[in-house]
Each structure stands twice: as structure tokens, then as C-alpha cells.
Amino acid sequence: MKGVGGEYTIHLPDGVCVLAKPRGIFRKRKVIPTVGDYCEIEPSGDPDIPFTIVSIADRKNLLVRPSVANVDVLIIAVSISNPQPDLKLLDKLLILCPKLSIDPVILLTKTDLAPDEAEALAREYENAGYRVLRTSKEEMLPDDLVRELFSGNTVGIAGQSGVGKSTLCHRLTGMDHIEVGDISERLKRGKHTTRHVELFPYEGGFLIDTPGFSSLEVDRIGIKEEDLLGGYPELLSISGKCRFLDCRHNGELGCKVEESGISEGRLARYREFLDIIIETSKRYGK
Ligand SMILES: Nc1nc2c(ncn2[C@@H]2O[C@H](COP(=O)(O)OP(=O)(O)OP(=O)(O)O)[C@@H](O)[C@H]2O)c(=O)[nH]1
Ligand SMILES: [Mg+2]
Ligand SMILES: [Zn+2]
């Protein structure tokens, strides 16, 4: 659930939390127990730290900065206004999720500020094949939907500063001390203070509380051309239809991109990412 100074809080299947220290062997093998890991523990004989971590299960994924393992679901929060939606960030996160085997869910917030635009944006991404949830000042997520999202899952919330991540968490958990994605809070504490990632049990799953999910280091992870279509399911749906099998849907002869139903905005962003990837690979000769 969290790790501070080499001491880890382990959540047992019955919900009880205990303290454990990793066995020395991990340090030698350079395996660092990470929040989100599934592990086996044994009694240590030390009354202060009564357990030893003896093994760590293979990870489904590992995010760095924030350091968290085995993320199942990422709620990508986007507000329709104040701040304006950063659709490039949204599309990048959508490209990243399948690469990391994470299920993305788009959460459109502040729909009260511009209901018609909000509905249009929600439809644009629903047409692309994504799940889009909506919240406003008055409207929260339905309980059964929240349970379905969390049940058995480790769930993170990402999004620009000010989109309403903390607001959502307060409304979900009623807890004030959770500060998911709280950039503003981090700034208040000073730039160099790092807060630890922590998991909270919630509705049969875990909510990831981290100060750093806003950026998710999207650019650092690096998107390759073969990853790109993972964020554009509507383009995947026309694969094999264009004249050329390796069509990039970028103005080629016989391209059937219009049959994909992709929106103008998403196509433009796809092509912009494609240009950047092609340019970068030319420069580095890859
Ligand atoms: N009108 C309206 N305002 C909202 C809604 N949700 C959140 N807000 C407001 O938006 C502001 C920012 O919300 P936060 O929850 O702090 O945003 P955050 O994503 O946690 O921002 P950082 O911590 O900076 O990353 C607050 O003043 C909220 O009251 C909404 O659905 N409608
Ligand atoms: Mg916040
Ligand atoms: Zn094509």
C-alpha cells in the first residue's frame, strides 16, 4: 500500500494491514518493492516490523514517476472548461494505456459549465470506442458504476491541474486527506518535496493517491509508430481496407480513412503524432 524508508505496508486479503521489510536478496537483484506490487510475506520475528517480503509477483506494468505497479484502470479526467480540455494530452494517455495494459476510462468533468460542448466531446470519444463518464457540479457517478470500475482493480486518476481530480476523490471516498494528482498541493509544499504514492482500499479495489499523475511522464515513455493506433481504435477498425496494407492514413492513394468515422480533431492529432514519430526516427536513424 505504501513504502516509507524501506518499510512497506502490506494489505492482507482480509483487509488487515501489516508492516514488512524486503529480504536483502531484492537489493542485490535490484528489485525494488513498489506500491501496487503483489507479494508474499513471512513472519520476521521482529516485533517492530513483524514480516519479511520474500517474493514479488511478476508485474503487469510498472509506472515510473509516480512509481506504481500493476495499474488496472486509469480514469483520465478532462474538464470541458476552466481549464480548457487538453486533447493532445488525452490522446497521448489513450495511446499509452493499451501499451501498458491499462484500461482507460475518460471522465468528462464540469459539464455544467458548457453542457452542449461537453456532450459533443463525449460523443466524439464514444464514437471512437471509449467509455466516457460525465460529472458536473450536481451530478456524481452512479454507485453501481463506481463499484464496477473499482471491483478487483487498482485505479489511478490522471488529468491536468484543476480538472477536478481531488473533487472526485472527496465525493467518492468522503476522505479529505486523499489528494489524488494534487499538483497544487505539491507546489504549496515546495518543489522538491516528494510525497509517497499510496493505495487506499475502495469498493473492492484500490485507489491510487499520488501527487504526480497529471503528467504521467507521457513523453518520457516514448510512443512508437506501432503504438500509435492503440490510441485510435476507429483507425484500427479500417485496417486492411485501404489500398496499401501499410497505409498510414496520411493522404495516401486509396486510403479509406473517411470510412473510419474518425473526427477531424482526432485525425489531426493522430497525424501530428505520426509526423513527430517519423521525424524523430529519421533523426536517430531508427
Ligand atoms: N463547475 C464545476 N466546478 C468543479 C467541478 N468539479 C470540480 N470543480 C472545481 O474545480 C476546481 C479544481 O478542482 P480540483 O478537484 O481541485 O482539481 P484537481 O484536478 O485536483 O487539480 P490539481 O490538484 O491542481 O491537479 C475546484 O474549485 C472545484 O470546486 C464541476 O463538476 N463543476
Ligand atoms: Mg487535486
Ligand atoms: Zn489508410
Question: What pLDDT is stored for residue 177 in this prediction?
Answer: 63
Question: What pLDDT is stored for residue 64 in this prediction?
Answer: 80
> Is the predicted pLDDT of residue 193 greater than 50, yes or no?
no
Cβ contact 282:140 at 8 Å: no
> Is the predicted pLDDT of residue 185 greater than 60, yes or no?
no
Distance 4 CA to ligand 2 centre (A): 22
Question: Atom of ligand 1 at shortest distance to CA of 159?
Answer: 19
Q: How far is CA 243 from the centre of its chain?
A: 35
- Mean pLDDT score across all residues of the chain: 89
Question: What pLDDT is stored for residue 280 in this prediction?
Answer: 82
Q: What average pLDDT does range 113-123 have in this prediction?
A: 98
Q: What average pLDDT does range 24-28 have in this prediction?
A: 79
Residue 26 pLDDT grade (very low, low, confident, very high; cuts 50, 70, 90): confident
> Is the predicted pLDDT of residue 196 greater than 50, yes or no?
yes
Question: What pLDDT is stored for residue 134 in this prediction?
Answer: 97
State residue 202 phi and psi, 5-degree precision.
-155, 125
Cell representation of residue 119: 456532450
Of all helices (H) and strands (E), which one includes residue 276? helix 264-283
Question: What pLDDT is stored for residue 181 in this prediction?
Answer: 55
Does the C-beta of 181 come closer than 6 Å to ligand 1?
A: yes
Question: What pLDDT is stored for residue 161 in this prediction?
Answer: 85
Question: What pLDDT is stored for residue 25 in this prediction?
Answer: 79
Which residue in the block uniquely carries the three cell numbers 463525449? 122
Distance 66 CA to ligand 1 centre (A): 21
Cell representation of residue 62: 510498472
> Is the predicted pLDDT of residue 209 greater than 70, yes or no?
yes
Q: What average pLDDT does range 224-252 have in this prediction?
A: 94
> Is the predicted pLDDT of residue 276 greater than 50, yes or no?
yes
List pLDDT tens digits, range 29-71.
888 999 999 999 999 999 999 999 999 999 999 988 788 999 9
Does the C-beta of 161 come closer than 6 Å to ligand 1?
A: yes
Looking at all shown ligands, the one closest to residue 236's CA atom is: 3
Write the CB contacts of 186 (distance below 8 Å, at least 6 apart in sequence). 193, 195, 211, 212
pTM over 0.75: yes
Does the C-beta of 55 come closer than 6 Å to ligand 1?
A: no
Looking at all shown ligands, the one closest to residue 162's CA atom is: 1
What domains does the chain contain, in order, with CATH numbers?
Answer: 2-58 (2.40.50.140), 68-209 (3.40.50.300), 223-283 (1.10.40.50)
Question: What pLDDT is stored for residue 179 in this prediction?
Answer: 63
Which residue in the block uniquely carries the three cell numbers 499510496? 198
Distance 231 CA to ligand 3 centre (A): 16
More confident residue, 24 or 84: 84
| Among protein residues, the one whose CA lies closest to atom 11 of ligand 1 | 162
Question: What pLDDT is stored for residue 130 in this prediction?
Answer: 98
Does the C-beta of 113 come closer than 6 Å to ligand 1?
A: yes
Pocket test for ligand 1, best of 166, 176, 178 (most atoms within 8 A of CB): 166
Does the C-beta of 165 come closer than 6 Å to ligand 1?
A: yes
Question: What pLDDT is stored for residue 221 in this prediction?
Answer: 65
